[in-house]
């Protein structure tokens, strides 16, 4: 008979509930009935060691945690800035938040311990400030010129943000069974003075990812950690009362940073004579045609009637664009067999975070087990990260 794991029943229940996993699904993971599983959470029986290890992995908790006498202090869930009627966060969303919190907590404690300076831009402004001023400060701090990108806009923003000490994590899934839903979570920010962290759901295409990234940067600049969704610059079809004031403000900052008033004004009205010109200009700025139209409307470069016509045309063109992108990605997968797994993991970890962990491991200040756990990669595979970072 297999050895029993004499775990603490309250911790088992807490671990399941904090992962938003039902009793039925938890029982299925270890091939027992829900009734049998509940005897473990009630303390009337115990799982085997093998079953407990499977559950620990499924709930993304250390196996040893199940044996503590009481529920440990967990990371506090970030403030939810999503709409009042937003759906409850699912397991994948909760796990990615916890994963980033663990990384952020480790790097923040390290920086504080070694005496790193606090970053002056975290919390430099508040929601009561002018969003144009905040946007200009972000551009100046990161040394970004939207009219003169040196590489793909989103890549330039990520590189410049990480150079400034902001960790950027991007992912669309945790593994094949836990896919991130962009309708639930588009991004979140942890506004820490030592190690601010931003997560962007890469399930979206590049333009909305970039808008999300800059929106989350605004969260850092006003020191408002939290979860975002339905990030957009146009709320004309939706009641603004349902959107949190912080989200409205951060959207305004993002719009001003990606499409500065002086730059868009200089485009002139000719840019909005055809969808081809609009698309070309939007692509150069790394944004969607729709975002550019909304900005032009707000700056009175086009009329409301023009906007409605162009918006409809832009939507039609966007649907065609998505279809072309889908076909292109399918062809790329056929040729290459899908994206590099280690590149995806590098983006999820954050390039800056990966470099710091590997440097700490290489100089002997970080144990192999901790380094491996932080990067979710075996030590003998670190060389793959080295090549990608180089």
- Sequence-distant (6+) residues with CB within 8 A of 290 are 234, 311, 314, 315, 318
- Tens of pLDDT along the chain (390 residues) come to 678 999 999 999 999 998 999 999 999 999 999 999 999 999 999 999 999 999 999 998 989 889 988 888 877 778 999 887 788 899 999 999 999 999 999 999 999 999 999 999 999 999 999 999 999 999 999 999 999 999 999 999 999 999 999 999 999 887 767 888 888 899 999 999 999 999 999 988 889 999 999 999 999 999 999 999 777 665 455 566 578 899 999 999 999 999 999 999 998 778 888 888 888 899 999 998 889 999 999 899 999 998 988 888 888 877 777 787 777 777 766 666 667 888 999 999 999 999 999 999 999 999 999 999 999 899 989 999 989 988
In order of their start, the domains of the chain are 9-66 (1.10.260.40), 91-336 (no CATH), 341-389 (no CATH)
Q: Which residue has the tokens 């939207």?
A: 146
Measured CA to CA in angstroms, residue 310 lies from 148, 210, 234, 291 at distances of 26, 22, 14, 12
- Sequence-distant (6+) residues with CB within 8 A of 179 are 92, 172, 173, 203
- Sequence-distant (6+) residues with CB within 8 A of 163 are 142
Tell me the chain's radius of gyration from C-alpha atoms.
Answer: 23
Global pTM reads 0.87
- Sequence-distant (6+) residues with CB within 8 A of 39 are 45
Virtual CA dihedral for 128, 131, 132, 137, nearest 10 degrees?
Answer: 90
Residue 283 CA from chain centroid, whole number = 22
């Amino acid at each position: 008979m297999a050895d029993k794991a004499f775990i603490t029943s309250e911790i088992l229940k807490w671990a399941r509930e904090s992962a938003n996993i039902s009793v039925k699904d938890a029982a299925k993971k270890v091939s027992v009935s829900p009734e049998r599983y509940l005897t473990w959470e009630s303390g009337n029986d115990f799982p085997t060691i093998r079953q407990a290890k499977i559950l620990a992995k499924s709930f993304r908790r250390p196996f040893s945690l199940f044996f503590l006498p009481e529920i440990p202090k967990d990371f506090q869930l970030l403030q939810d800035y999503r709409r009042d009627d937003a759906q409850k966060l699912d397991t994948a969303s909760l796990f990615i938040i916890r994963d980033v919190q663990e990384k952020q907590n480790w790097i923040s404690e390290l920086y504080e311990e070694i005496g790193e300076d606090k970053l002056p831009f975290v919390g430099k402004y508040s929601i009561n400030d002018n969003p144009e001023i905040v946007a200009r400060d972000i551009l100046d701090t990161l040394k970004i010129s939207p009219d003169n990108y040196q590489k793909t806009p989103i890549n330039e923003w990520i590189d410049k943000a990480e150079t400034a000490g902001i960790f950027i994590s991007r992912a669309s899934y945790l593994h094949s069974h836990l896919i991130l839903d962009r309708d639930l979570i588009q991004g979140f920010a942890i506004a820490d003075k030592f190690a601010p962290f931003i997560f962007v759901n890469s399930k979206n295409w590049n333009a909305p990812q970039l808008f999300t990234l800059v929106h989350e940067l605004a969260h850092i600049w006003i020191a408002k950690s939290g979860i975002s969704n339905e990030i957009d610059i146009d709320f004309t079809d939706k009641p603004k009362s349902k959107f949190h004031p912080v989200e409205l403000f951060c959207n305004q900052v993002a719009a001003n940073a990606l499409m500065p008033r002086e730059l868009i004004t200089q485009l002139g009205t000719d840019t909005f004579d055809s969808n081809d010109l609009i698309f070309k200009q939007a692509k150069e700025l790394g944004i969607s045609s729709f975002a550019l139209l909304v900005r032009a409307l707000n700056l009175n470069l086009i009329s409301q009637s023009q906007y409605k016509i162009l918006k409809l045309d832009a939507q039609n063109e966007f649907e065609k664009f998505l279809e072309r992108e889908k076909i292109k990605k399918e062809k790329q997968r056929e040729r290459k067999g899908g994206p590099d797994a280690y590149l995806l993991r590098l983006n999820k970890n954050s390039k800056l975070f990966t470099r710091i962990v590997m440097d700490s491991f290489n100089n002997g200040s970080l144990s192999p087990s901790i380094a491996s756990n932080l990067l979710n990669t075996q030590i003998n595979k670190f060389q793959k990260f080295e090549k990608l970072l180089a």
